[in-house]
Amino acid sequence: MNIIADLHTHTIACTHAYSTITENCACAYENGMKAIAMTDHAPSMPDAPHIWHFNNLHILPRKIKGITVLRGIEADILPGKEALDVDGELLSTLDWVVASIHSPLFIPGDSNAVTNAYLRICENRYVDVIGHPTTHKFRFDMVKCIKRFKEYGKMIELNESSISAGRSTAEICRELLLLCKKYEVPVVVNTDAHFCELVGRFDLCREILDSVSFPEKLVFNSEWDKVRQHIINKHGDIGI
């Protein structure tokens, strides 16, 4: 399985991550990536950077250490009427938006709340991918949500960090992938790396993808042209 871009990574702007954007890019290059998305946590997370962090991403060069850098965010899906913890004005300035559910915003085991949140987030036009939806304590109605993801053009993440930390089981990942395969919903394979040496390393994800014979054509970040064209379609020519 060819993967050329790691589209969910964190920097020391989040205090539970341990590397700079420059260090992440250097390791991404060593691990054969063409691009990464810099997706630090949005304000609802206790250790998230100030909102100015995202407003100032435009100062970054488009390439660092030979790697194309997409300016992004991991936004928090909220359980109430407001879909995300950041507004459209900010999201419209970013290249890439991961939308994820985290504790303590949701009660573990409340599958109806999670299902409804995922159904609602589909209506947010800025969201590119649903982050780590295989987390075992936040189960949801996969069939209903995947059909809605397909309808609204949302992608689904297979998250290396979530698997390696035991937050996602191989069984749940396979269940999700088989449904994505059935309904032809694209998957984004990411590390969610919080340390530079983990960027671009997808061993567990590759093993699970192989176990269900998941088609490479449905892996969004298997080809740079697919990633680049998606960004251009969303924002125009931004110099990538």
Which pLDDT tens digit goes with each residue over 147-198?
999 999 999 999 999 999 999 999 999 999 999 999 999 999 999 999 999 9
What sign for the dihedral angle of Cα 19, 169, 31, 226? negative
User: Which residues, in sequence order, are CB contacts of 33 under 8 Å at separation 6+?
Assistant: 4, 5, 6, 67, 199, 200
Which domains, and CATH codes, for the chain?
Answer: 5-235 (3.20.20.140)
So what's the pLDDT on residue 10?
A: 98
Angle between helices 170-183 and 203-211 (to 10 degrees): 60
Whole-structure pTM value: 0.97
